[in-house]
Structure formats: structure tokens, C-alpha cells
Amino acid sequence: NVTVAFVGLGAMGYPMAAHLSRRFETLVWNRTHEKALQHAAEYGSRAVTSVAAAAEADILFTCLPTSAEVAALAGDVISGAGNGLVWVDCTSGDPEVTRELAVRLAGQGIEFVDAPLSGGTAGAEAGKLSVMFGGAESTLEEVRPALEAFATKIVRVGEVGSGHAVKAINNALLAVNLWAAGEGLAALAALGVDVGAALEVINASSGRSNVTENLIPQRVLTRTFPATFKLALLAKDAGLAMDVVRGARASAPVIAMTESLIRAAVNEIGPDEDHTAALKLIERWSKTEIR
Ligand code: NDP
């Protein structure tokens, strides 16, 4: 009987751990312990009071803001880990930090792999996330039944760290699409074009993306901007994408500029606002509302 543990019951982790607890004995730990207690009461998981206790499971999941918070747990994980622990990091993390951590943990008999996610909080709640897996094929097979508790698309993209690299580029594409769609639609709005009508036809045309099909209609046109994925996290991901670009000695001026624009939006609009609220900066600059 496989026991799993989940560390980081945030917007993504809370519903992911709920799916796990329907199939496995699940330990949960969260910095703010009340959330772990609430999770246990709601889903029958078991709230533990230390990361070391969580590390006694067979598979340990983490989903924290950045790799810095993940790496900071390593000492506690090492002190609590049983034989053959596999640590699956679902954070949108830093490939470099992850590779270094994997080497350090391997020396302690712990296998560290990366499995960042896409699909948002809606995907996490539905158990229909996509996973970009970085690690050995055999490790993927070992943890696949647990990943399948919350994911419907699981792709191994390479050795440890490569999942994070793919995730960073995916989110850079999200940022580029978001910003470009915002610029284009703000211009149309300023011309007096109805943005809803424009999107109706763009979404049956070649310029469509998840941004035009879902994010802008659901979050911007409604003016609700629900904060399910924080602007600060998108800026972090765009920065990681530029690290990937520099590490490859590649040239990516559009991604570089978009990172800067998203950083400006974090400062002007606020780190905890939803990522789609970045378009409020475009609205200010163009003195028009996207509607
Ligand atoms: P949240 O801000 O909702 O949750 C963050 C979690 O990390 C909370 O459980 C928080 O605990 C915990 N935490 C923060 N700092 C520390 C720390 N120093 N030590 C221990 N625990 C800490 O983030 P999300 O769930 O939105 O995002 C998590 C990761 O998933 C990020 O890397 C993000 O980029 C990625 N992601 C997010 C998506 C989304 O749509 N939201 C989609 C795909 C990936 P506490 O409750 O105490 O604050």
C-alpha cells in the first residue's frame, strides 16, 4: 500500500492533494497548519506537523511558489525520509536549482524529480492537469499511478530539470500571448470595435489562443480578474524562461521584452493580482478599457 504526502496546500496543491487522498493514504503538511487540518477534515487526509513526518511516505509531492522554498525543505526531508523516497516537485521551479538538489538528495538515497503542471486551478479541481516530467523513465513508471490521480496528460520531457525548463517556456508563451492579445484588443477597443464581437471571430480564426478563447472572455471582459494564478508567479516563470534562453545561449528578444513588461505590471498593478490583470497596465497606457 503506497502512502503519499503533499506539502504546499495552495491554490494548486489543495485540490491536487484532495484527488490523491481519494486513492491513497495521504499525509498533508502546510506552512499555515490550519489549512492542513481543514484538508484532513474535508478529504480524510492526515495532517502532519512537520515536513520530516511527511517525508516518511513513499512519494512526497511539493507545490510551493519557487524552488527556493523547495530547497529550503531539503534538510527536513532528509531527516525524515524512509528507504527509497521519491520526491516529486510540482512547483514551477528552476531547472538549475533542481538539478543541484537532485544530486545532493541522491547522495542521501532520495530520488528527486520535477513534475510541474499546467491547467490552472480549474484543471487541478477537475483532476485534469498536464504534467511535464523530468526524471528517469523508471521513476515515472513508479509514480505514474499517483500522478494519474490529478493529471490526464503526463509527458516525460527528459532528465531531471527538463520538466521545469518546458514549464518555463510554456508560461513564457502564455505571457507573450496574453500581452500581445491585450495590446491588439486595446487598440480595437480604442477604435470603437466591440471586443466581444472581435473575439468571437478571432476565436474562429488563426490568431486564437487559450488567452483569447478563455482567459480574456472569462476574466477581463467580465472585469472579475479572479486571482487563481498570481501575476508575481507569471513574472517568476518569465524570468525562468530567460534563464533557460541564456543557458542555451539562444536569442529570444520577444520573451525578454515580455518578461520586462510583466515585471512592470507586477509593480504597477500588484503581485497578488491575477495574471490577467497585467492588461490593466496596457489599458492605462492606451487610455482605454478592453471591453
Ligand atoms: P499559492 O500562493 O496559492 O500557494 C503557495 C503554497 O506554498 C501555500 O501552501 C503556502 O503556504 C506555501 N508556501 C509559501 N511560502 C512557503 C515557505 N517559505 N515555506 C513553506 N511553504 C510555503 O500558489 P499556487 O498554488 O498558485 O502555485 C504553486 C506553484 O504552482 C507555483 O510554482 C506556481 O507557479 C505553480 N502553478 C500555479 C498555477 C495556478 O494556476 N495557480 C498553475 C500551474 C502552476 P501558506 O498556506 O502557509 O501560505
Render each residue's pLDDT in the chain as its tens digit; 291 residues.
899 999 999 999 999 999 999 999 999 999 999 999 999 999 999 999 999 999 999 999 999 999 999 999 999 999 999 999 999 999 999 999 999 999 999 999 999 999 999 999 999 999 999 999 999 999 999 999 999 999 999 999 999 999 999 999 999 999 999 999 999 999 999 999 999 999 999 999 999 999 999 999 999 999 999 999 999 999 999 999 999 999 999 999 999 999 999 999 999 999 999 999 999 999 999 999 999
Minimal-distance CA residue to ligand 1 atom 38: 120
pLDDT for res 242: 98
Phi then psi for residue 79, to 5 deg, are: -70, -25
Q: In degrees, to the nearest 5, what angle opens at C-alpha 264 toward C-alphas 262 and 265?
A: 60
Q: Which amino acid is at 5?
A: A
Q: Which one of 6, 7, 9, 12 would you pick to mutate in the ligand 1 pocket, going by the greatest count of ligand atoms within 8 A of its CB?
A: 12
H or E element: which one contains 156? strand 151-158
CA–CA gap between residue 37 and residue 49 (Å, rounded): 10
Catalytic site positions: 167
Note whether 274 and 229 are within 8 A (CB).
Answer: yes
Q: Which one of 64, 129, 153 would you pick to mutate in the ligand 1 pocket, going by the greatest count of ligand atoms within 8 A of its CB?
A: 64
pLDDT for res 68: 98
Torsion angle defined by CA atoms of residues 40, 46, 49 and 55, in that order, rounded to the nearest 10 degrees: -140
- Contact residues for 166 (Cβ-Cβ < 8 A; gap 6+): 116, 132, 134, 157
Atom number in ligand 1 closest to CA 93:
32
pLDDT for res 134: 98
Give the number of residues written for the chain. 291
Q: Which amino acid is at 260?
A: S
This complex has an ipTM of 0.99
Note whether 117 and 124 are within 8 A (CB).
Answer: yes
Note whether 157 and 137 are within 8 A (CB).
Answer: no
Q: Which residues line ligand 1 (CB under 6 A)?
A: 8-13, 30-32, 35, 63-65, 69, 91-92, 117-118, 120-121, 228-229, 233
Q: Which residues pair with 87 in a beta bridge?
A: 60, 112
CA–CA gap between residue 290 and residue 280 (Å, rounded): 9
Atom number in ligand 1 closest to CA 233:
34
- Contact residues for 121 (Cβ-Cβ < 8 A; gap 6+): 11, 12, 15, 228, 229
pLDDT for res 261: 98
Phi then psi for residue 208, to 5 deg, are: -75, 155
pTM for this model (two decimals): 0.97
Distances (CA, A) of 281 to 79, 85, 103, 139, 202: 46, 45, 42, 44, 23
